Chains A and B, each alone.
Chain A
Amino acid sequence: MSHESSLSQVQAATNFSEPAPLHATTRAEIDASLRFPVLLFFRTALFWLLFGSILCTMTSLKLVVPCFLDGINFLSYGRLLPVALDALLYGWAIPAGLGISLWMVARLCGRPLRCSKLLVAATFFWNTGVFLGSLGVLCGYGTSIPWLEYPNWASVPLFIAFLLMGVWIVLLFSARQPRSIYITQWYFLLGLCAFPWLYATANMFLTWGSIQASAQGPIIAWYSANIFGLFLIPLALGIIYYLIPKITGAPIYSYYLAVLGFFSLLLLAGWSGMTLFLGGPIPVWMVSASVVATMLMMIPVAAVILNYAKMLQGQVAALKESPALRFIAFGIIAYLVATLLNLAFAIPTWNGILHFTHYSNGIIILTLLGAVSMVFFAGIYYIAPRLFGFSWLCSCSIRCHFWLAVVGLSLMVVSMTLGGLLEGLALDDAAITWVNVLSFAAPWRWLNVIAWILLLLSYVSFVRLFGNMLFHATHPDQKVSACSFNSLASVS
């Protein structure tokens, strides 16, 4: 059949269906060149993850026990919360995502990294920016703009460092040896181009120069939605497109679905932030366009998740064996749930109830710690053993990490969204006073504290495991008592 032969010619020429295979020596060369910078990314990211989640636990406790650490200026709620969330975003998520994409792009492009010193310097700059920014906010110089609380001088090292880090990935990409471009690379390039645009625009208009007040709200909404929708989520989707075929051995289910998913995301994601101002004082067309975009986001999400689900179909054995795949599966579910919650938030009549409750914060946490972070963990679980040269030391730490995170995140989402809904209904009732609404919502805030403690334990377990790996890599002859739960694990 001529049709079939032309099809296989297309296949042979493009090789889209899965990440390209590489010769073992090339792989070893690439991994050797990436070992130090990528592990440095992971190490700093994990530090900020721990730092951010400790502060988040403290702030969630402050919401229910107001006298907790009261009277200390730099530990007041208004300063701790932005430092905690920004540490999770700028300290943890972005460097972790960059480290993973650096490794994957190098593998996909078949190129080792040259001149990694500049990249290491950029990592240093980036973390200096996060550190100085956090310090600035704690000392009371924060800007009060969501996700841009760092004083404006801290945004300069962050921006320059991102350009230095991003440019390495783009350089690797442009020097790629297999000329074909795999789906993962589309998403990475989208994310890497989006961040400088978003960050520079938002900082120019909000922290450096002050645009007229009526335009500030829309820019804040645009930035805080797109930092996820156009940057972190695409990185996570790209990572999933890389890992599922690699781990299961199954090719991409449908190439056209991937195309649809990518371009509809590119078209729609940028529009979807303005639902934050439903009923607010901005031109109504901006809000309506955003409502429409949020609803239409069902198309890219359906396309992507359908593709993933078909690839994961029947892979029960791999799901049981591979921690990376389990984290990915939970990340996909979190992405789906976050999308549906966003959708409910965009329905104008529902928004009237859900607005000004913890509901929208719940979506942000689910997106950041579920849809994005769980996939990044999967990436680290996949990549780190290749860089260390040995496998993960302890499976029960991984299990601890996974299940504590799953239970913690589920509790958190339930407490914030369901609690937010009930809180909103109570707020709508003119017969209930404000103070009564607060005490009515208190059990949900307590649930939130428990969820944060579980998440913190989960992250501690992962950081401890990663630390043991680092220790073992530098002291290979010493026996690592990595797994205190080993006996427990063998029983179960």
Chain B
Amino acid sequence: MNPSNIHHSSDDLQLARDLVEINHAPASLHNADRNGFLRPLPLWLMAFSMFLFFWAGMYLAYNSGGFKANVFDASVVSWSGGGSGGAAAAVDMKVLGKKVFTQTCVICHQATGLGVPGQFPPLVGTEWVLSQDWHGDNHLVKQVLYGMQGPITVKGLPYNNAMAAWSQLSDQQIAAVLTYVRSEWGNNAPPITTEFVTKVRADTKPRTEAWNLAEMKAIPKEMCSGSAAPATPPAKK
């Protein structure tokens, strides 16, 4: 090619290599070339692609955050997308508890937790709530699950009323509301776990009717966090 030449006629165009048109159809190629054109994909490329796709699946399993719109850090959600991974997936029990309390408990026990004198017993500083004396965490959970009936004594004052059963609430909701009640208004008792509520519910499986005081007293005391870590400072015991 001599590019400094100036070509005026269209015949000259064929001289420069860039100006060559391919005028032969594929039929003019050798058979080998034509068949080569439909040659299969190279095996190594397929293997490489498969490896990349495998890696991609594994990477997404561990780093996708369960494809949730509100997860910003992959490490807080387990690879299956469930919440067992940690903090962000876990529910704040006190927030949930307050929600349940205002929806279900506040009518009788009041937002202050003081109840109505002579009618509905208080929750603030109560031995029933704080698991003091003969009361255990199991009594508290059972009471919420199936309700209470007949005369009882709370902080030395007699009450004779009926508490509704709340077994329709989930174990997590019951654990949350009890955790809330035990940490609010100056109460300071350890939280009730969802697992503990599940256990108590399973223990009392066939029951549907409300408890009375005699029945309650007959049940031995159990604590949510086990005997190793006492639920309350052992001053009362």
Contacts and interface: CB of A to CB of B under 8 A. Distances in A.
Interface of A: 4, 7-8, 10-12, 15-19, 21-22, 24, 27-28, 245-247, 249, 251-257, 260, 281-285, 288-289, 291-292, 295-296, 298-299, 302-303, 306, 318, 321-324, 381-382, 385-386, 389-395, 398, 472, 476, 482-483, 486, 489
A284 B5 contact: no
A12 B16 CA distance: 30
Given A284-B72, A385-B18, A391-B3, A302 B45 contact: yes
Contacts of B72: 281-284
Contacts of A21: 21-25
Nearest to B37: A17
The 10 closest A-B pairs by CB, nearest first: A395-B3, A284-B65, A288-B63, A292-B56, A321-B17, A285-B64, A285-B67, A17-B37, A284-B74, A21-B23
Interface bin, chain B: 35 or more
Nearest to B74: A284
Contacts of B103: none
A370 to B, nearest CB: 21
A22 B23 CA distance: 7
Contacts of B23: 21
A373 B52 CA distance: 30
Given A17-B34, A288-B64, A486-B4, A386 B56 contact: no
A149 B67 CA distance: 32
A318 B20 CA distance: 11
Nearest to B6: A390
Contacts of A256: 38-41
Contacts of B45: 257, 260, 299, 302-303, 306
Given A4-B31, A288-B63, A318-B17, 8 more contacts: A256-B40, A281-B72, A284-B74, A296-B52, A381-B18, A385-B18, A386-B13, A395-B1
5 contacts: A255-B38, A284-B71, A296-B53, A299-B49, A482-B4
B47 to A, nearest CB: 12
Contacts of B42: 257, 306
A298 B48 CA distance: 9
Q: Interface of chain A, helix or strand or loop or mixed?
A: helix
A486 B5 CA distance: 11
Contact of A255 (B31, B37, B64, B65): B37
Contacts of A249: 20, 22
Contacts, number: 169
B46 to A, nearest CB: 9
A246 B3 contact: no
A483 B4 contact: yes
Given A21-B22, A381-B18, A390-B6, A10 B38 contact: yes
Contacts of A324: 18
Given A283-B72, A288-B64, A393 B6 contact: yes
A245 to B, nearest CB: 6
Interface in B8-28: 8, 10, 12-13, 15-27
Nearest to A260: B41
A426 B69 CA distance: 34
Among B13, B19, B37, B42, max chain A CB count under 10 A is at B37
A15 B74 CA distance: 50
B62 to A, nearest CB: 9
A472 B6 contact: yes
Nearest to A383: B18
Contact of A251 (B7, B8, B29, B73): B29
A385 B52 contact: no
A321 B67 CA distance: 54
Contacts of B38: 7, 10, 254-256
Contacts of B6: 390-391, 393, 472
A254 B39 contact: yes
Contact of A283 (B1, B21, B31, B68): B68
Contacts of B33: 251
Contacts of A28: 10
Given A15-B25, A260-B41, A285 B3 contact: no
B185 interface: no
Contacts of A283: 65, 68-72
Contacts of A486: 4
Contact of B36 (A22, A253, A299): A253
A164 to B, nearest CB: 30
Contacts of A17: 26, 29, 34, 37
B17 A288 contact: no
A281 B4 CA distance: 58
Nearest to A397: B3
B60 interface: yes
Interface in B49-91: 49, 52-53, 55-56, 59-60, 63-74
